[in-house]
Homo-oligomer: A and B are copies of this chain.
Amino acid sequence: MSSFGQICAENLEKVRARKPLIHNITNFVVMNSTANVLLAAGASPVMAHAANEVEEMAGFAGALVLNIGTLTDIWVESMLLAGRKCTELKTPIVLDPVGSGATALRTITAKRIIEETSVSVIRGNASEILSLRNTDSKTKGVDSLHSVDEAAEAAKALAIELGTTLAITGPVDLVTDGQRVLRVANGHPLMSYVTGTGCAATSVIGAFAAVDDDTVTATATALAYYGLAGEKAGAMSNGPGSFMVNLLDALYNLTPEDVKAGSKISADA
């Protein structure tokens, strides 16, 4: 029951009370599950990607989530338009660099978004995050080749270089802005057998960032809440199908008291 547990409880309460509008420009695979995760968490999701609409929609949002899976050039332009609008309005932008490092289009796009907009948080697996620094890093599709530990020092340096908060998710998640390093030990192995669980985590970070100006605590508490729901779901599931169902139920049912007691967030010395 660290003070992080307290912050996690408060952020969850704020999300449910304020129901922040989270504008997602995300990939086709996860749109439905992402929207359902955000609704279960208490936030209000919207998906909109038309160039002639995204600035207007982003203008209402509590946070913008950009996810580069199933990307095309037209979508990149819309992401940049929405991202610049949120940069102007100081609305948090959360980036999920799905498959960055796997193809040039994805790596280049992730870097462009980082350069041309003010990204608050980037969440990915270790390979994806490393690809943002090191062009030699290779990812196999969207799966990670690197461990979270290998990526820790690189992440701190990269967070400073980019002036953003990084979240590298794995068995234990690592969150850093280059100064502080938080680790989140919540989660369940079945998460890797359901598509879009990482993408949905990114959107939950968006919801928490909409109510908590400290992007490090917003990110870590979002991951703890989400991972704790995964633990509850995993304990009662027979496989990935029932896991996803139970994950949504758990996200909906977890109380601030539950997350205060169950979140496993620790700070590096």
A44, A69, A102 — most chain B CB neighbours (10 Å) = A102
- Give Cα distance in the complex from A27 to B47, angstroms: 9
Residues of B with C-beta under 8 A to A247: 241
Decide: A36 near B194, CB < 8 A? Known: A28-B47, A47-B29.
Answer: yes
Determine the interface band of chain A, counting residues with CB < 8 A from chain B.
Answer: 35 or more
Establish whether residues B32 and A140, one from each chain, have CB atoms under 8 Å apart when the complex forms.
no
Given contacts A29-B35, A53-B104, A240-B252, 13 further A-B contacts (CB under 8 A): A30-B32, A35-B196, A39-B193, A39-B194, A39-B240, A51-B72, A52-B105, A53-B71, A56-B105, A239-B248, A241-B244, A242-B246, A245-B245
The 15 listed contacts between A and B (C-beta, < 8 Å) are: A21-B141, A36-B240, A39-B192, A39-B194, A44-B141, A48-B70, A48-B103, A50-B71, A52-B73, A53-B104, A193-B252, A239-B250, A239-B252, A240-B252, A242-B249
